Amino acid sequence: MAKSHSVIEVDNVYSKSSAIVSDRSLRSIAVVLFLLGVSMPFVYAIHRLNQVTQWTAWEAILRFNTANGAGEALRFTFIEALASAALTVLIGLPVAWSLSRYRWNRVRIIRAFLAVPFVTPAIVAAMGFLSLIRDGGLLSRIGIDLRLETGVVGYIAEHSGWDHPGHFLALILAHAWFNLSLMIRFIEPTLSTLDPAWEEQLTVLPSGKKKLVRIRTLWMPILGPAVMCAAALSFLFSFTSFALVKWLAPNNHTLESLMAEAGSSAGIVGYRVDSSELIYSVALIQFFILLLTLLLTASFQKRFTRRLSLLSEKGVRNHHGRPTLRAKITLLLALAFTALPFLSTIISSFQVRKVVDGTVQSDWSLQGWRNAWTGDLSTMGANEAMLNSISYAIATLLIALPLGWILASTIHKLDSAGWKKSARSLDLFCMLPLAISALMVGLGVLLGGLRWYPEMFNWFFLPVYPHVLLTVPFVVRVMLPAYGSLDPRYTEQCRLLNLTPIQTWYHGTLMFLRGPAVVAGSLTLAFSLGEFGASWLLVRSGSWDTLSIVVDQLMGRPMFDPSVYPTAMAASTMLMCLTFGLFLIAERFRESSDRSGF
């Protein structure tokens, strides 16, 4: 009996040690695969551009200003990204403050609706704002012509010497709309759980009766890091914006749109070397700027996570009571600001332009929807493009969710084991695709693939590669806080019950992370469906087009055909409905204490 008991103990020890080795191997493989996957396209692209231009990386950086249009594009990119971040803070801070301070009915629904723009495909956002600012759109009807720049906007342009101020204002408004949820995600959780006694005690003091003193001594230390973190991310996403710039500011170039224009002719030895020189210089400059932005974001987020005296959200909201009139007006305006581009897109999909007695009128019609579905005006119908988009999204989900999950688990395990610097380094590496940008990832695959394995461009699932790289950071950001909230005692109890490693993981981890996993999966599907930059470079062949590419193709057609515009809006509405459904699933499973920021 003693001998058999010892054999069982040895078997248990052996199985546990094997499980530990397997766990470490799996984590190591996941980390190595991700790091290689992120770095290889960029390194291959740089190597290819080095071969074509005969420049070193340092020479490419030094010759940045000699590249055609690069200096002007850099200035415009900085100006629009900074202005977009500032406008996001200006609009988002009052909204987050009003939402977090009072007892609102159905606050989760309001919060979810205000977060919808962030998961909206960029091409859908562009179509929404284009329908608002076009001739005959809502803004032009009230005298604000941002598209043709007549009236007040034209007067400003004429007397200030500012080229296309209407386009610039439309662009930064769209960026602020797109990034509004970042302010809410970062600020609202802190404010809605902060002990009200802090503010009350400060107001008792003589100096605390002044609002400016309270802002400087209380609110800036508490909310400052969160505001700066949201502003830095807004700057990053505005800096790499492509679809919005392409359609709302067609007379200006950002670094991203400049690379997109030159990307198709870059990397070919002996052909259009100027394009390769431009891409080489711009890609390196943009990479270092975005990397610095990510480092600043990580620094702000580190300060932001240092929590203070927090209470239950319900108790804090009850303490502040019902919303004031100012808070109601602020939130009502925010909801209208969020809804208008969506409503305008839907309405425009049913309106067909016609000329009667020399005047332009609109008729209500389903012609746009019929054209979009059958593909009469595009390379394929919306049904085929939707099938392509869904196929790419599912394939992306099957790879990005497990990979991001393992990476988040690894970061958490390193942090728990005391390897703080390693955890922070891996966390930063997981954000690297955001520093490279969607279009640069696609360009890296394009140039690297041409050199390494040209036959890969005959592969239907080629766009999945950049989609995975671009969605993994969001999976990590969602799953990492969820791992931080896990109670390790459940896993220990599973081990005491002598469960297998798989059973231990299922009962001690998976059962508590189902909600965040559904959120991460839904966001992965939504981001993949709406991805535009990398797909725009890789699948414009006509046979593998996604729904985003079809919308772009339709809007690029001559507008003398009155059915083109409603057809594009109908295809955009279909894509919008797809992502809305996924986002609703994500919000259904999102915990109220979610601090992921996405």
Check residue 247 and give its pLDDT.
92
Distances from the Cα of 67 to the Cαs of 20, 60, 73, 396, 422, in angstroms?
53, 9, 10, 36, 38
What is the rounded distance in angstroms from the CA atom of residue 124 to the CA atom of residue 113?
16
Residue with tokens 């965040």, as numbered in its chain: 516
Count how many Cα atoms sit within 13 Å of the Cα of residue 49 in the half-sphere of its side chain: 34
Q: How many CB atoms lie within 10 A of CB 416?
A: 13
Say how far apart CA 405 and CA 471 lie, in whole Å: 12
The model's pLDDT over 218-227, given as tens digits with 9 standing for 90+, comes to 778 888 888 9
Exposed, middle or buried: residue 138 (CB in 10 Å: 0-12, 13-18, 19+)? middle
Beta bridge partners of 353: 362
Cβ contacts of residue 328 below 8 Å, gap of 6+? none
From the list 403, 132, 446, the residue with the least C-alpha distance to 276 is: 446
Please return the burial class of 563, using the count of CB atoms within 10 Å of its CB with bins 0-12, 13-18 and 19+. Answer: buried
Contacts 24+ apart (CB under 8 A), 127-130: 127/247, 127/345, 127/551, 127/555, 127/568, 127/569, 127/572, 128/340, 128/341, 128/342, 128/344, 128/345, 128/572, 129/170, 129/173, 129/174, 129/177, 129/244, 129/248, 129/341, 130/247, 130/248, 130/555
Backbone angles phi, psi at 66, to 5 degrees: -85, -15
pLDDT at 345: 94
User: Which of 112, 55, 197 has its CA nearest to residue 594?
Assistant: 112
Q: Is 355 helix (H, G, I), strand (E, B) or coil?
A: strand
Query: What proportion of the chain, given as a percentage, has pLDDT over 70?
Result: 86
Average pLDDT of the chain, as a whole number = 82
Range of weakest confidence among 135-149, 265-279, 547-561? 265-279
Q: Are 592 and 528 in contact (CB under 8 A)?
A: no
Q: Residue 317 CB: number of other CB atoms within 10 A?
A: 19
Do you know the residue count of the chain?
598
pLDDT digits (tens, 9 = 90+) for 360-416: 677 888 999 999 998 888 888 888 989 989 999 999 999 999 999 899 889 988 888
Phi first, then psi: give them for residue 353, nearest 5 degrees: -75, 140
Could you give the CA distance from residue 472 to residue 265 in angstroms, rounded to a whole number?
29
pLDDT surpasses 70 at 355: no
Distance of alpha carbon 195 from alpha carbon 222, whole angstroms: 12
Q: What is the pLDDT of residue 101?
A: 84
Q: Answer whether residue 8 shows pLDDT above 50.
A: no
Domains of the chain by start residue, with CATH: 72-254+310-348 (1.10.3720.10), 364-436+459-591 (1.10.3720.10)
Q: What is the DSSP string of 6-36?
A: HHHHHHHHHHHHHHHHHHHHHHHHHHHHHHH
Three-class DSSP category at 498: coil
Segments in 63-142 forming alpha helices (H): 70-101, 107-119, 122-133, 138-141
Q: Specify the pLDDT at position 54.
A: 86
**Given a cut of 80, is residue 537 above it in pLDDT?**
no
pLDDT for the residue 226? 85
pLDDT digits (tens, 9 = 90+) for 291-308: 899 888 877 776 665 555
Categorize the per-residue pLDDT at 311 as very low, low, confident or very high, splitting at 50, 70 and 90: low
State the distance between the two ends of the chain, measured CA to CA, in whole angstroms.
57
- pLDDT above 60: residue 513: yes
**Taking residues 1-5, what's their average pLDDT?**
49
* 12 to 7, 19, 22: CA distances (angstroms): 9, 10, 15
Q: Residue 189: left (phi > 0), alpha (psi -120 to 50), or beta?
A: alpha
Please tell me the pTM assigned to this model.
0.87
Q: What is the pLDDT of residues 23-44, one digit of tens each?
A: 678 888 888 999 888 888 788 8
Q: What does the pLDDT look like over 417-443, one tens digit per residue?
A: 888 888 888 888 888 887 777 777 777
Segment 451-463 mean pLDDT:
74
Token digits of residue 408: 């988040």
